[in-house]
Amino acid sequence: MAKLYFYYAAMNAGKSTTLLQADYNYRERGMETMLWTARLDDRAGAGVIGSRIALSAPAHVYDERVDLFEAITDELKRRKLDCILVDEAQFLTQRHVLQLCDVADKLGIPVLCYGLRTDFQGKLFPGSAALLALADSLVELKAVCECGRKATMNLRVDAEGHAVAAGAQTEIGGNDRYIALCRKHFLERLRESEARQLSLKLPRF
């Protein structure tokens, strides 16, 4: 039976590289794939999945208006599909994830999703929450903290390198503004930022 997989990690763990490698492996064996990425992520160009090691591939784009099950069913009328690969899966909606469940369960096509688990505040993205709840298989890809331990959190920093504790959940681009850290150092940096903000607000006599 086909399965829905969620490969998750902190920033800079090679998620897109792993997806592109999986796509290559399928195609090398003469199998057909269909790639998807979020419309709002255009860092490598619109409809392109790009990696930090300069690998890239064209992809279909999704946003909240796209019905993934319908789009994949339409593609099946034109060609056989052996695997669906979804990048930036944290930006999926719960409805998208349910549609991908149907792709695996009703169409019999394995679906491999790659994305972040949590945002810069340590909160789950909607797509990641749905995947953690519904995926058949959860696979953690490893990133490394500056201390050498496994990095599981994504810290957003400002231009001076101070941790950012508030703001929009999604900020496209500016990868240099994110640091992958272990939980211990992530929380330490957030507390330092909170203490700094408090000191800046205190009246000076």
Q: Is 106 exposed, middle or buried (0-12, 13-18, 19+ CB in 10 A)?
A: exposed
88 is catalytic: yes
Single out the residue of 115, 189, 196, 113 nearest to residue 145, CA to CA.
Answer: 189
Q: How far is CA 14 from the centre of its chain?
A: 10
Catalytic residue (one of 28, 32, 75, 88): 88
Give the number of other CB atoms < 10 A from CB of residue 32.
14
Distances (CA, A) of 60 to 28, 74, 165: 20, 13, 33
End-to-end CA distance of the chain: give it in Å, rounded: 70
Catalytic residues: 88
